[in-house]
Amino acid sequence: VDQQHIRNFSIIAHIDHGKTTLSDRLLEMTGTISERERREQLLDAMDLERERGITIKSKAVRMHYTARDGQTYQFNLIDTPGHVDFGFEVGRALAAGEGAILVVDASQGIEAQTLANVYLALENDLTIIPVLNKIDLPGADPDHVAMEIEQVLGLPAEDVLRVSAKQGVGIDALLEAIVERIPPPHGQHDRPLRALIFDSHYDPYKGVIAYVRIVDGALPVGARLRMLGTGAEADALEVGAFRPQMTPLDLLDTGEVGYVATGLKQIGECQVGDTITLASMPAEIALPGYRPAKPMVFAGLYPVDTNAYTDLRDALEKLKLNDAALSFVPEKSAALGFGFRCGFLGLLHMEIVRERLEREYGLDLLITAPSVEYQVLLSNGDVITVDNPADMPDAGRIESIEEPIMLITIITPTRYIGSIMELVTGKRGVFESMEHLDPQRVALKYKIPLSEIVVDFYDQLKSRTQGYASLDYTLAGYQPADLVKLDILVNGQPVDALSLIVHRDFAYAQGRALVERLRKLIPRQMFEVPIQAAIGSKVIARETIRAMRKDVLAKCYGGDVTRKRKLLEKQKEGKKRMKMVGSVEIPQEAFMAVLSLN
Ligand code: GTP
């Protein structure tokens, strides 16, 4: 295809504003898929994604569109992940195109991720086509939202298209706008190959499949390839495009988007953001953007059944093939035995990994409370990073501790400002700025420690604003803070997996709340069990679980076997997620107790 007839673009939107529905509509209107296939929601292939209604992995689909000018254009729609945890992947996917369709729900208006996505699009110099979706809804106010887009984003209101992705209204005009407004790719055909990897996945037969945008040169099948970032080399076993199934081609040419099968066994060798070139004629300068994925949230994963340790390791290794952001190292806990310290991009990422381990690999897991990564300056001048509270050195050896700080943006109706201020300041947030989007809505910016928002910040924000506020965050750096390690003792024994790093000012309140919570969560034993919170050797809170009075089975009247079996089974069920710590059984919920404080 003539480079002038290629259009590469993404669709960006706040969650639920209709990105998937609109993508499917475009595929259908260009004859790439049938109506029936559309209904099967093609772009969200993974079950988990469908259930959660979020797109985790970006994909690229090639369409052919014959425009009103009579010419046939090659459209490459590059799908972007929709959640803040995956911000880096969004940026890379956007960098693979020249344009972005900005979808805004006409009944909701601009949300936090709308803004975040627009900033990412502008950073990548993309042409933005603003689109109001869901104009069929009775609550839609397209004129108002178009004005909001003009005022807040500086995109002229008359350029805003109006569609209903669900009913297929306004899609023709959008297809024409893609041709007219988005520029063709401007790469150099006669330069050495430079292909941007904007996504990848592991295939058991073809190895790592990289999703690429050819910036300069061409990528023929059979070529020897080199990754400029990692130095890994591989053969292009297959190249092609998604139509939407993988369709092999002889080559990917300048400006095109498609895939290359590399035969590589590890996704880490072929990471998002890296540049592919030809080993025989390598490009010298990599494309901007290579950055190894950096985990932000850490937690211990332990098999409930100690014998399942190797199964857990094998499962993690398999998941890692497809998830460069997942990290894990073996860890030993005095309380829980052998497990892994895992690093995640965020809480959602953690949830997804945990669910996949349980569902796809049939593992029963205990997961400890999530922690962030601290930079600790020791008295001897050394700096260490600590991502497990149990590894925090004694206070006497520490000079200072720095913690990760996030810059958060909250968009909310003005009536909730007071309630949000209260929530944020209670979590050590510091006000940065407030900007009115319109008379009823503001964008609030704060700096806040990551440790304070990994826990239940998002849920609290949603419940305090009846779901109206939206949130986005980025790492703003590290800052020193007066932090202490809070230890929990069960039956006089410290349980390392329950340790927490907390701010000194909140240590007493949190210690008290935690032991109260644990008293309710840990079932009664045959003996009395004290639960204590301590900082160093100083106990700051204590509760007692009283001893069990009766055997459970005593409740069964004689001879009723079924009833007895049921009771025993129920007990077994309840035990599933229990771990013997010393002589006390501790349930999974206890390790996550910190999540339900406040
Ligand atoms: P994520 O994948 O979670 O980011 O969501 P998304 O932005 O891809 O939104 P999706 O396409 O899944 O649509 C969200 C909801 O809005 C679904 O229930 C759609 O059926 C609905 N929806 C999408 N477009 C329209 C529209 O034009 N009109 C109406 N009434 N509903 C729509």
Residue with the bigger pLDDT between 487 and 594: it is 487
Q: Beta-carbon neighbour count of residue 430 at 10 Å?
A: 13
Determine the straight-line distance between the first and last CA of the chain, rounded to whole angstroms: 60
If pLDDT is split at 50, 70 and 90, which confidence band does 38 have?
low
Q: Which of 119-123, 445-449, 580-584 has the lowest mean pLDDT?
A: 580-584
**pLDDT at residue 566 tops 80:** no
If pLDDT is split at 50, 70 and 90, which confidence band does 39 have?
low
Note the ipTM here.
Answer: 0.97
Q: What is the pLDDT of residue 574?
A: 46
Highest mean pLDDT of the ranges 66-80, 105-119, 171-185, 256-270 = 171-185
- What is the C-alpha separation between 507 and 197, in angstroms, rounded? 45
129-153 tens-digit pLDDT: 999 999 999 999 999 999 999 988 8
Residue with the bigger pLDDT between 580 and 537: it is 537
- What is the C-alpha separation between 50 and 351, in angstroms, rounded? 15
- What is the C-alpha separation between 210 and 143, in angstroms, rounded? 42
CA angle 165, 167, 172 (to 5 degrees): 65
**pLDDT at residue 381 tops 60:** yes
Q: What is the pLDDT of residue 37?
A: 63
Q: What is the pLDDT of residue 520?
A: 87
Distance 11 CA to ligand 1 centre (A): 13
Distance 18 CA to ligand 1 centre (A): 3
Reduced to 3 states, what is the DSSP secondary structure of residue 204? coil
Q: What is the pLDDT of residue 57?
A: 45
Ligand 1 atom, smallest distance to 53 CA: 3
Q: Beta-carbon neighbour count of residue 89 at 10 Å?
A: 23
Distance 16 CA to ligand 1 centre (A): 5
Is 265 flagged in the annotation as binding?
A: no
Q: What is the pLDDT of residue 575?
A: 47
If pLDDT is split at 50, 70 and 90, which confidence band does 85 have?
low
**pLDDT at residue 48 tops 60:** no
Residue nearest to atom 26 of ligand 1 (CA): 134
Is 277 flagged in the annotation as binding?
A: no
Q: What are phi and psi of 300, to 5 degrees?
A: -90, 135
Residue nearest to atom 19 of ligand 1 (CA): 18
Q: What is the pLDDT of residue 81?
A: 64
Q: Which residue has the tokens 């369409």?
A: 63
The beta strands (E) that lie in 69-182 are given as 72-78, 99-105, 127-133, 161-162
Q: Which residue has the tokens 């499917």?
A: 24
Handedness of CA 495, 498, 501, 502 (dihedral sign): negative
Percent of the chain with pLDDT over 70: 88
Q: What is the pLDDT of residue 55?
A: 41
Average confidence score pLDDT of the chain: 86
Residue type, 126: L
Q: Pocket of ligand 1, candidates 14, 21, 103, 163: which has the most ligand atoms within 8 Å of its Cβ, to mutate?
A: 21
Q: Which of 161-165, 335-339, 371-375 has the lowest mean pLDDT?
A: 335-339
- What is the C-alpha separation between 25 and 17, in angstroms, rounded? 14
**pLDDT at residue 546 tops 70:** yes
Q: Pocket of ligand 1, candidates 113, 163, 166: which has the most ligand atoms within 8 Å of its Cβ, to mutate?
A: 166
Task: Give residues (CB < 6 A) around ligand 1.
Answer: 13, 15-21, 53-55, 82, 133-134, 136-137, 164-166
455-485 tens-digit pLDDT: 778 888 888 988 788 887 788 999 999 999 9
Residue nearest to atom 18 of ligand 1 (CA): 16
Q: Which residue has the tokens 């993508």?
A: 23
Ligand 1 atom, smallest distance to 23 CA: 11
Ligand 1 atom, smallest distance to 44 CA: 2
Cβ-Cβ contacts under 8 Å for 305 (sequence gap 6 or more): 364
- What is the C-alpha separation between 242 and 226, in angstroms, rounded? 23
Q: Which of 294-298, 404-408, 485-489 has the lowest mean pLDDT?
A: 294-298
Residue nearest to atom 23 of ligand 1 (CA): 18
203-239 tens-digit pLDDT: 888 988 999 999 999 999 999 999 998 899 999 999 9
Tokens found for residue 434: 């407030």
Distance 17 CA to ligand 1 centre (A): 5
Q: What is the pLDDT of residue 547?
A: 85
Q: Beta-carbon neighbour count of residue 258 at 10 Å?
A: 26
506-539 tens-digit pLDDT: 899 989 988 998 898 888 888 889 999 999 889 9
Residue with the bigger pLDDT between 252 and 559: it is 252
Distance 15 CA to ligand 1 centre (A): 8
If pLDDT is split at 50, 70 and 90, which confidence band does 51 have?
very low
Q: Beta-carbon neighbour count of residue 86 at 10 Å?
A: 23
Q: For the residues 160-184, what does the mean pLDDT come to?
A: 97
